[in-house]
Amino acid sequence: MSLHDLVSIPDRLAALRRLMQEEGIDACLIPSADPHLSEYLPERWQGRQWLSGFTGSAGTLIVTLAFAGVWTDSRYWEQAEAELKDSGVALMKLVAGGMQAHIDWLAQHVPAGGTVVVDGAVLSLGTAAALQKAFTAKRITLRTDLDPLDAIWPNRPALPQAAVYEHKAPYAPVARRDKLARVREAMVEQGADWHFLSSLDDIAWLLNLRGADVSYNPVFLAHVLIGTDQAQLFVGTGKVPAELEDLLKADGVTLAPYEEAAAALAALPDNAALLVDPARVTFGLAEAAPASIKRIEAINPSTLFKSCKTVEEVQHICEAMAQDGAALCEFFARFEAALAAGERVTELTVDEWLTEARTRRPNFVSLSFSTIAGYNAGGALPHYHATEAAHSVIEGDGLLLIDSGGQYLGGTTDITRVVPIGTPNAEQKRDYTRVLKGMIALSRARFPEGIAAQMLDAIARAPIWEAGIDYGHGTGHGVGYFLNVHEGPQSISFYGQPTPHSAMRDGMITSNEPGIYRPGQWGVRIENLLLCVAEPKTDFGHFMRFETLTLCPIDTRCIDRSLMREDEIAWLNAYHAEVHDRISPLVDGAAREWLESRTQPL
């Protein structure tokens, strides 16, 4: 069979197994990763999806000569069961605290003295260490010098070639020269004279550059090597315009071909001290440096710096939030008028109309992720995606969940709203109200400075746990500044492991999105973005609080008021008053009327 005939998943797996037999390999590990360990991948590195058929954004594929399985968490279980059906690939369910379950599985099932292959170019340094530790007892060899996909993937997509452009003032208020100086100060503190960066959002932030190599994320494929007085940007030839190259050179940043990053690491002096983040750099690149160098493993300084937005950046973010809220008002006014007129509206229509509304707003660049519009059963899938082949018409009675966001020159938005279609039933209202109570509780939280963000998760879950209900995803993720909609180091999720860097800091922006999901029936998730703000010191130390950034009415028609306390109602009324005051100057006509009606106090 020709490689060009590899249409079905079983055919692709068979081709991989033939390669494994030829190479003497017992198991092949295909992570959801690229050479930059990105969450969202260029097509070239979507090998797990190509080999398994599972399209979720998170998952790990393992293939042996007799078994194939995808490990993924509860957000994707229903999706994975449907997509993996009859493929020969099993769903392996990851549960809380079991994020290394696939490593344990390999250590248990690969024979002693066997060989596991994974492309070192897409394997994190930290995961490589975990694999090697797990394999030691059985003397299993970890082979990282082979990219199995290259050998079996016909017409594999090439590297993206989108141009790089500058993120300019006033939307980039801190000059790249100043950002580089700050990173170099952190290098000195760590005892490093070189620092290697592969994470795309760190690079884009550090150099005030943006691109379009990854869908929805304004980043570009690149590596950076920073020295004490110089920096090299490894990027595709021709991607940086000549004028921008001159500006970079004036700030001490020179260009080199993308594929020469490993050679530059190999050429480091034998006595060099190199700072790398083991979670954000690949094993293949880290191992390219001379064995004699001192490797300092610590979080990228830029990860911490970019997570704390400046006062000027927060001002731009607030402007972007208002424009985004205005777009949502225009959308909802159009949407409700269409339903009232008996027009045929589908989940795809929601995506189309919402995108159109955002596109009309000043400084809009793109969506920040693929819109999730799930009606009834679709809303029960946290990462549902309607397609031309499979989508629902919005009719009858139920709940419509819409999770969407935009990239603006002055910020990144991410918002989820649930609206009633027809008449919601009593249980739907109870679920909605429990989620709203959890969202309000976290919005109002005060907490000591330095507390691990993971510990805040229980605040949002408490009103939901009270009913004996839980949800299988985290409550909050960091959000970038005209960058990735998911960024760290903070994460409000008890599934994550607290680290010294996971505390909330002044200026961090984090989502607040508790939910309840009833498979096959409906889903509820209400999401705002929050800004972490430091409060004045008290006799008991420094405390932090949240300010809500997102500006869009929360539908009150689904609320079971008997479950709401008066202080919660007061919070909601105050929020709606602010939404009205901030957005009303930006809308008129039907959108203004819709805003007026949806911000009336309870």
Percentage of the chain surpassing pLDDT 70? 98
Per-residue pLDDT of 541-576, as tens digits, reads: 999 999 999 999 999 999 999 999 999 999 999 999
The Cα 335–Cα 333 span in angstroms is 5
The Cα 333–Cα 445 span in angstroms is 32
Q: Which amino acid is at 416?
A: T
Residue 154 CA, chain-centre distance (Å), reads 29
Lowest mean pLDDT among 378-392, 394-408, 428-442: 378-392
DSSP letter for 595, please: H
Which pLDDT score is estimated for 138? 93
The Cα 379–Cα 432 span in angstroms is 12
Percentage of the chain surpassing pLDDT 90? 88
Which secondary structure element, helix H or strand E, spans residue 594, and what is its range?
Answer: helix 589-598
Contact between residue 32 and residue 123 where contact means Cβ atoms under 8 Å apart: no
Per-residue pLDDT of 137-183, as tens digits, reads: 999 999 999 999 998 998 899 999 999 999 999 999 999 999 999 99
133 has pLDDT over 50: yes
- Provide the mean pLDDT of the chain: 94
Which two three-digit tokens encode residue 304?
């911490």
205 has pLDDT over 90: yes
4 has pLDDT over 80: no
SS3 call for 385: coil
**The length of the chain, given as a count of residues:** 602
C-alpha gyration radius of the chain: 25
Contact between residue 303 and residue 37 where contact means Cβ atoms under 8 Å apart: no
Which pLDDT score is estimated for 6? 60
> Nearest-CA neighbor of 399 among 372, 434, 429?
429
Concatenating the DSSP letter of every residue in 278-346 gives TTTSBHHHHTTS-TTSEEEE---HHHHHHHS--HHHHHHHHHHHHHHHHHHHHHHHHHHHHHHTT---B
Query: Residue 488: CB partners within 8 Å, gap ≥ 6?
Result: 303, 307, 478
97 has pLDDT over 80: no
The end-to-end CA distance of the chain, in Å, is 67
Of the spans 80-89, 328-337, 445-454, which averages the highest pLDDT?
Answer: 328-337
The Cα 571–Cα 574 span in angstroms is 5
441 has pLDDT over 90: yes
Query: Residue 476: CB partners within 8 Å, gap ≥ 6?
Result: 442, 453, 456, 457, 460, 490, 491, 492, 493, 510, 511, 512, 513, 530
Contact between residue 16 and residue 68 where contact means Cβ atoms under 8 Å apart: no
The CATH homologous superfamily for domain 165-307 is Creatinase/prolidase N-terminal domain (3.40.350.10)
3 has pLDDT over 70: no
Please report which confidence band the pLDDT of residue 494 belongs to, taking 50, 70 and 90 as the band edges: confident
602 has pLDDT over 60: yes
Strands 209-210 and 487-492: unpaired
Strand partners, 261: none
> Nearest-CA neighbor of 494 among 474, 521, 469, 513?
474
CB atoms within 10 A of CB 18: 13
The Cα 410–Cα 314 span in angstroms is 9
Q: Which CATH code, of 3.40.350.10, 3.40.50.10170, 3.30.750.24, 3.40.50.300, is assigned to 3-152?
A: 3.40.350.10
The mean pLDDT value for 379-397 works out to 89
Which pLDDT score is estimated for 58? 85
Q: Which amino acid is at 107?
A: A
The Cα 439–Cα 462 span in angstroms is 10
Contact between residue 321 and residue 581 where contact means Cβ atoms under 8 Å apart: no
CB atoms within 10 A of CB 2: 6
Which secondary structure element, helix H or strand E, spans residue 30, and what is its range?
Answer: strand 27-30
The Cα 230–Cα 349 span in angstroms is 50
Sheet order of strands, 141-143 included: 90-93, 68-72, 60-64, 27-30, 115-117, 141-143
Which pLDDT score is estimated for 1? 40
Question: Is 165-307 the same fold as 3-152?
Answer: yes
Residue ranges of the domains in the chain? 3-152, 165-307, 311-590
Strand partners, 560: none
Q: Which amino acid is at 229?
A: D
**Topology of the domain covering 311-590:** Creatine Amidinohydrolase (3.90.230)
DSSP letter for 486, please: S
Q: Cα-flanking dihedrals φ and ψ of residue 19, to 5°?
A: -65, -40
Query: Residue 397: CB partners within 8 Å, gap ≥ 6?
Result: 421, 422, 423, 424, 425
The mean pLDDT value for 16-26 works out to 95
Lowest mean pLDDT among 7-21, 207-221, 485-499: 485-499
Whether the ω angle into residue 424 lies within 30 degrees of 0, i.e. cis, is: no
96 has pLDDT over 70: no
The Cα 199–Cα 220 span in angstroms is 10
Q: In 115-170, which ranges are continuous DSSP H helix?
A: 125-135, 148-152
The mean pLDDT value for 378-392 works out to 87
The Cα 136–Cα 103 span in angstroms is 12
Which two three-digit tokens encode residue 432?
């909605």
